[in-house]
Structure 1
Amino acid sequence: MKKLAALFLLLGLMVSAQNNRVIYEYKFRPDSTKTDSLKTEWMYLDINKNGSKYYSKKTFDNDSIINESIKKQMASGMKSISVSRQSFGGEVNGEVEKIYPEYKTYLIVNVGNDSYKVLEDRKPIWQISSAKKQLGTFSVQKATTDFAGRKWTAWFTTDVPVQDGPYKFSGLPGLIVEMSDQTGSHQMELKGIKKIPEIAPEELNTQGKDIPFTRKKPIEVNRKQYVKQLSQHENDPVQGMREILSRPNSKVMIKVNGKEISEPKEVLRELEKNAKEEMKRNNNKIELIP
């Protein structure tokens, strides 16, 4: 009876409310060469009548801290802005937006010092199995798909009338409760659903200053253009920063791993070193084929 009551409450929440947050636990192995590199990040899938947004809680919180710091520095009239790239920031920096009812899907992601909004031109083609099981209070059914170079297994529930799920996955006749790739490198599991208030997104006004590590209005591109930018960034990961530091009177102090640096050559050297080390460690991305 308790399970039934909980289910009716959940159905009422999803149907009557316009703003809901689905919470997923995302476990992933960024380095395929290290079996002990498994990490965990809490992800939000915020759903309203117009669509959904999937993003990292930790990255969102860290961005909010950075934005508040910048706003205070600008309000005080400081000429140079100090940006701290926190080591406790989220590992997942990209966001995924879906627009209902056609489920048009976008990836919003930073590449270097630019932000891109990439229209996804691939749709998961699902094979729905007859296999069913119980996951917590949910009755779920199995489905499989190949997407972006990985083979995926999803367990979805028709108990929740939302054809959505984590990351770019949607199109099943219900909400995705659990998802994992064939290698076990990427796993998402639903941990909760709650109603949230409608909050208008706030854009940071940098007053014309190009400040590193802040989210900018994304440039809309197709997937082919995005892959080109991604390749250029991998070949020269500090190109954007080099352009900023070459401008007259450009003087931004940056903290990297607790170390304050401001001399341009040292900034570039440190950032390039860190970027290349990060790319080497992050060799097992969710999309093997971007």
Structure 2
Amino acid sequence: MNKLIFTFLLAGSLMRSQTHRFIYDVVYKKDSASTVRTRENYHLDIENDHVTYYTRDFFIADSLMSNNLKFPVDTKLNTSSIIYHKKGDDQYEEFDILEGSTVLKLQSAELQNWKLTKESRKVKDLTLQKATTTYGGRNWTAWFTREIPFQEGPYKFHGLPGLIVELYDDKDNYRFELVKSVKRSDIPKNQFIEMSRQMSVPVDWEKYNKTKLTFYESPINYLKNASNRDQFYLNDGTAVNASNSREINDRLKANIKKYNNPIDLEKAVVYP
């Protein structure tokens, strides 16, 4: 928590601004059987009537697009999904961006049954209170503050009487820590996010699961169709053509199956 930086704390100041951006440091295991952890930053943007949660790489992608800059060949952006919901609403929209141009829109009702405890602690100038819940097949502990009066948190976690500052599961697969907040009234729309939402195809869980399994069988076909070229490039700069497409396809399949440790285990796709 020594990285926690706030540019505002007063409730009155919070409520006057149009957009509040909270940045979380997220450390997680892509592979639950591994000790290797990945660290990324995620944005939680709270606007007048809605909330959007996404990886910071969307912000980077939008900056490149806005300034007409090319994506560096060695760029490894994580732009896999966007979480969106209206403030005070338990209905969530998740936009899952597959390789290429396929965006699946999955709607779901999300509600955590929080148990508030009397345990509290002081971090910087904030008083945090502890709460626990079971969600998505994992047991979670949250530390929230009533001093920031938003009933929101990272991913689809919400419903506490204050913003979630820390969140982690008891198996240490996921850990979220609020590290920065920004209050602005002039944050422009993220073109990358808006484009992804407009391109999305609404699906139910059955269709979502089927599409993910179809994608798993041949991710190379999705990429090839999206690029409309005989040779195209992966996000890490690898050139894919007829001579290596089968090898690359097998490698992508192996990674999809290996790195299958979602926050919500109850909605994990079971790959053959």
Shared topology, TM-score over 0.5? yes
What pairs with 1:166-245 in structure 2 (closer than 5 Å)?
Answer: 166-196=154-184, 197-202=186-191, 217-241=199-223, 243=225
Contact 2:62 / 2:192 at 8 angstroms: preserved in 1?
no
How many Å separate the matches in 2 of 1:52 and 1:31?
A: 28
Contact 1:141 / 1:155 at 8 angstroms: preserved in 2?
yes
Aligned to 1:33: 33
- Residue 274 of structure 1 is aligned with which of 236, 239, 251? 251
Contact 1:41 / 1:56 at 8 angstroms: preserved in 2?
yes
Aligned to 1:18: 18
Go from structure 1 to structure 2 and tell me whether the alpha carbon gap of 1:241 and 1:174 turns closer, same or farther (over 3 Å shift): same
> What is the CA deviation profile of residues 104-141 of structure 1, one whole-angstrom value per residue up to 9, with x for unaligned ones?
21111113441012112232221222222223322111
Residue 183 (structure 1) shift: 0.6
The alignment's C-alpha RMSD in Å is 3.1
Residue 193 (structure 1) shift: 1.2
Go from structure 1 to structure 2 and tell me whether the alpha carbon gap of 1:215 and 1:172 turns closer, same or farther (over 3 Å shift): closer
Tell me which structure has the larger Cα radius of gyration. 1
What pairs with 1:1-290 in structure 2 (closer than 5 Å)?
Answer: 9-35=9-35, 37-62=36-61, 64-65=63-64, 67=65, 86-90=74-78, 93-113=80-100, 114-196=102-184, 197-202=186-191, 217-241=199-223, 243=225, 250-251=228-229, 253-256=231-234, 257-261=236-240, 263=241, 265-266=242-243, 268-290=245-267
Go from structure 1 to structure 2 and tell me whether the alpha carbon gap of 1:199 and 1:63 turns closer, same or farther (over 3 Å shift): closer
> What is the CA deviation profile of residues 35-70 of structure 1, one whole-angstrom value per residue up to 9, with x for unaligned ones?
1x11210111011111111111124314653x469x
The sequence identity of aligned pairs, in percent, is 26
SS in 2 for 1:289: helix
TM-score of the aligned structures, taking structure 2 as reference length: 0.81
What residue ranges of structure 2 are gaps of 5+ in the alignment?
Answer: 1-5, 268-272
Go from structure 1 to structure 2 and tell me whether the alpha carbon gap of 1:24 and 1:161 turns closer, same or farther (over 3 Å shift): same
Residue 97 (structure 1) shift: 0.8
Which residue type is aligned with residue 111 of structure 1? L
> What is the CA deviation profile of residues 133-171 of structure 1, one whole-angstrom value per residue up to 9, with x for unaligned ones?
223322111111222221111111111111100001111
Which residue type is aligned with residue 98 of structure 1? H
SS in 2 for 1:238: helix
Which residue type is aligned with residue 198 of structure 1? I
How many Å separate the matches in 2 of 1:87 and 1:201?
A: 19
Residue 29 (structure 1) shift: 1.4
How many Å separate the matches in 2 of 1:170 and 1:14?
A: 18
What residue ranges of structure 1 are gaps of 5+ in the alignment?
Answer: 1-5, 74-82, 207-213
> What is the CA deviation profile of residues 247-284 of structure 1, one whole-angstrom value per residue up to 9, with x for unaligned ones?
xxx426422333434x3x34642541331232244132
How many Å separate the matches in 2 of 1:267 and 1:48?
A: 46
TM-score of the aligned structures, taking structure 1 as reference length: 0.77
